[in-house]
């Protein structure tokens, strides 16, 4: 027994070229998994895979647009061919578009694009991933949702919120339907994490403070702090966890926050 949490596992991670996905790819590999790193940005996926192989791990880099069914089908076939089998799927790729606002001022094109990547993308990965997990004799699916699946955001981002709520609902139903086939399915619900995505969105001290005031831990999370929970949920250590929405939110959902008293 190696003591590594992912020893013997074969994991496919979408959006593995940056942020949480890259941290997860590196961690899964350090914990003993062979990893297929898939991303829209092939060069970024190749960088993640190169970092893994430089550390002595096994990795393949793949290009995918999760919004396109044929692209996901091809990614899944390439991952199985490259790794031998796939028994853990971290469906992480997602976007938050800066033009995403409230119900009255979000353009339908922004809504459609967000849903296509964040929700339909996860559906595609489950659609083509479940048969691969079955061929591997079972395994784990981890879908990337968000804290906003369970709390309304004070900052308007309606398409993103709706997409992540959909991911949570889809996750629950897959867990119920596939448990007896040896397939677990969970969702990850991070609060604000410091990644390229959030650095671009919260680019002033004022915007940052607007978020930090709600955080009992007083800071954004780090991508590695989400990756470590993802690793647990994809591993045998979580063998009795399915249908769960796993919060990694620094206590935000536990907090009742009021504005500071006037001096
Ligand atoms: N950062 C946060 O605060 C936060 C909080 C909750 C949930 N999330 C979710 O976590 C996931 C990762 O977020 P991140 O902050 O690491 O983002 P990121 O922008 O740093 O990385 C996302 C990666 O996904 C890739 N990607 C984008 N569209 C794609 C597509 N159509 N097909 C394949 N790959 C695509 C990008 O190229 C990029 O490498 C997203 O689903 C995001 O919604 C992030």
Of 76, 71, 73, nearest in space to 60 by CA: 76
Can you tell me which atom of ligand 1 is nearest the CA of 164? 43
Domain ranges of the chain: 10-247
pTM: 0.96
- Find where tokens 């991070």 sit: 190
Residue 1 in this model has a pLDDT that exceeds 50: no
Sign of the Cα torsion 75, 5, 185, 250 reads negative
Of 160, 178, 240, 256, which is the active-site residue? 160
Can you tell me which atom of ligand 1 is nearest the CA of 147? 6
Q: Are 153 and 161 in contact (CB under 8 A)?
A: yes
Sign of the Cα torsion 169, 173, 178, 184 reads positive
Mean of per-residue pLDDT scores for the chain: 95
Mean pLDDT of 202-211: 86
Mutate to test the pocket of ligand 1, among 16, 20, 147, 188 (most ligand atoms within 8 A of CB): 20
Residue 11 in this model has a pLDDT that exceeds 60: yes
Residue 199 has a pLDDT of 81
What would the pLDDT profile of 184-201 be if each residue is shown by its tens digit?
A: 999 999 999 988 777 887
- The yes/no answer on whether domain 10-247 falls in CATH 3.40.50.720 is yes
Residue 151 in this model has a pLDDT that exceeds 50: yes
Q: Residues 6 or more apart from 158 whose CB is under 8 A from it? A: 100, 101, 102, 103, 106, 111
Paired tokens of 65: 């647009």
Identify the residue whose C-alpha is closest to ligand 1 atom 20: 19
Residue 261 has a pLDDT of 63
Mean pLDDT of 88-95: 98
Residue 256 has a pLDDT of 87
**What 3 state SS string does the chain have?**
CCCCCCCCCEEEEECCCCHHHHHHHHHHHHCCCEEEEEECCHHHHHHHHHHHHHCCCCEEEEECCCCCHHHHHHHHHHHHHHHCCCCEEEECCCCCCCCCCCCCCCCHHHHHHHHHHHHHHHHHHHHHHHHHHHHCCCEEEEEECCHHHCCCCCCCCHHHHHHHHHHHHHHHHHHHHHHHHCEEEEEEEECCEECHHHHHHCCCHHHHHHHHCCCCCCCCEEHHHHHHHHHHHHCHHHCCCCCCEEEECCCHHHCCCCCCCCC
Residue 140 has a pLDDT of 98
Let me know if 181 is exposed, middle or buried by CB neighbors in 10 A (0-12, 13-18, 19+).
exposed
Mean pLDDT of 118-141: 98
Given its phi and psi angles, is residue 10 left (phi above 0), alpha (psi -120 to 50 degrees) or beta?
A: beta
Mean pLDDT of 11-21: 98
What would the pLDDT profile of 42-65 be if each residue is shown by its tens digit?
A: 999 999 999 999 999 999 999 999
Residues with CB under 6 A from ligand 1: 14-15, 17-21, 39-41, 44, 64-67, 92-96, 117, 121, 144, 146, 190, 192-193, 195-198
């Amino acid at each position: 027994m190696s003591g590594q949490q992912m020893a013997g596992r074969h994991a496919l991670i979408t959006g593995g070229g940056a942020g949480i996905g890259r941290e997860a790819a590196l961690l899964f590999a350090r914990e003993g998994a062979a990893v297929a790193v898939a991303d829209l940005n092939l060069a970024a996926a190749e960088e993640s895979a190169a970092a893994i192989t430089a550390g002595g791990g096994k990795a393949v880099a793949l290009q995918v647009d999760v919004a396109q069914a044929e692209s996901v089908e091809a990614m899944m076939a390439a991952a199985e061919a490259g790794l031998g089998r796939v028994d853990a799927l971290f469906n992480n790729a997602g976007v938050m578009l800066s033009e995403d606002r409230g119900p009255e001022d979000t353009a339908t094109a922004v809504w459609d694009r967000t849903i296509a990547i964040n929700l339909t993308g996860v559906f595609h990965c489950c659609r083509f991933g479940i048969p691969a997990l079955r061929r591997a004799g079972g395994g784990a699916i981890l879908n990337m949702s968000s804290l906003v699946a369970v709390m309304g955001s004070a900052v308007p981002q309606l398409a993103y919120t709706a997409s992540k709520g959909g991911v949570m609902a889809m996750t629950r139903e897959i867990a119920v339907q596939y448990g007896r086939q040896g397939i677990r399915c969970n969702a990850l619900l991070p609060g604000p994490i410091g990644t390229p995505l959030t650095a671009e969105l919260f680019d002033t001290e004022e915007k940052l403070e607007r978020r930090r005031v709600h955080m009992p831990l007083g800071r954004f999370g780090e991508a590695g702090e989400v990756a470590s929970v993802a690793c647990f949920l994809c591993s045998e250590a979580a063998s009795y966890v399915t249908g769960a929405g796993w919060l990694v939110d620094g206590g935000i959902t536990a907090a009742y926050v009021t504005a500071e008293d006037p001096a």
